[in-house]
């Protein structure tokens, strides 16, 4: 049996930084269209850079005790809306449900904070991410700032039901933050 545990961590946590670096490296590979001009690099940084003032929290997935996945929740200027960012699972553990567990934890925490809507952005070279978000009930929406400046942006939104959860149950069956799951083939 493979154990998957999800923990809230600080943005500066070294395990989270390492996973975000792996995420950035994979995105660089997926979207490598040759050398970028300085103007293009600045534009990408303006769109995808992280303003740490907006960070609500980050989540770390441990698979058998080893860091293997990450996701984060950010504030948005729209009332009741939060943004999901930096969702990433290491290649070696994809298919075990790690991404689903991260998304479940993010959604639950957002609901606890009073979120009524979650939004996120992905791109055309991330069909795995698109499938994950759609499986969690996210629906495509018109690109929102700052992604509305990116011609290939794929944005999603999900309306959250009011939080009526009993936060004392953290079992795997409830989709809680800790627990073990069987690996999927």
State how many domains the chain has: 1
Beta bridge partners of 5: 62
Which CATH number covers residue 117?
3.40.630.30
* pLDDT digit string (tens) for the chain, length 185 residues: 899 999 999 999 999 999 999 999 999 899 887 887 787 777 767 667 778 889 999 999 999 999 999 999 999 999 999 999 999 999 999 999 999 999 999 999 999 999 999 999 999 999 999 999 999 999 999 999 999 998 899 999 999 987 666 554 443 333 334 333 333 33
Q: What is the pLDDT of residue 184?
A: 31
Q: How many CB atoms lie within 10 A of CB 19?
A: 23
User: Does residue 113 sit in helix, strand or coil?
Assistant: coil
Q: Which of 58, 51, 116 is nearest to 82 (CA)?
A: 116
CB–CB of 142/124 below 8 Å?
no
Q: Name, in order, each residue with C-beta under 8 angstroms of 36's C-beta and a sequence gap of 6 or more.
A: 44
- In angstroms, the CA 7 to CA 105 distance is 9
Report the relative pairing of strands 117-122 and 81-89 from DSSP bridges: parallel
Of 119, 117, 118, 127, the closest CA to residue 152 belongs to: 127
Give the model's pLDDT for residue 176: 39
pLDDT for position 46: 67
User: 13: helix, coil or strand?
Assistant: coil
Domain hosting 169: range is 2-181
Q: Do 82 and 74 meet the contact criterion of CB atoms below 8 Å apart?
A: yes
Can you give the pTM of this predicted structure? 0.83
| Per-residue H/E/C for 28-40 | HHHCCCCCCCHHH
Per-residue pLDDT at 174: 34
pLDDT for the residue 90 = 98
């Amino acid at each position: 049996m493979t154990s998957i545990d999800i923990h809230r961590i600080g943005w500066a946590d070294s395990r989270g930084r390492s996973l975000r670096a792996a995420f950035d490296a994979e995105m660089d590979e997926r979207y490598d269209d040759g050398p970028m001009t300085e103007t293009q690099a600045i534009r990408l940084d303006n769109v995808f850079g992280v303003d740490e003032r907006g960070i609500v929290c980050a989540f770390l997935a441990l698979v058998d005790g080893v860091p293997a996945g990450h996701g984060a929740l950010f504030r948005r200027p729209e009332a009741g809306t939060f943004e999901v960012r930096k969702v990433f699972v290491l290649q070696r553990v994809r298919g075990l449900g790690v991404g689903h567990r991260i998304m479940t934890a993010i959604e639950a925490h957002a609901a606890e904070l009073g979120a009524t809507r979650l939004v996120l952005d992905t791109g055309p070279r991330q069909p795995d991410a698109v499938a994950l978000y759609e499986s969690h009930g996210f629906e495509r929406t018109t690109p929102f700032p700052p992604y509305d400046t990116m011609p290939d942006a794929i944005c999603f939104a999900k309306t959250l039901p009011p939080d009526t959860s009993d936060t004392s149950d953290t079992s795997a069956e409830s989709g809680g933050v800790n627990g073990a799951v069987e690996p999927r083939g």
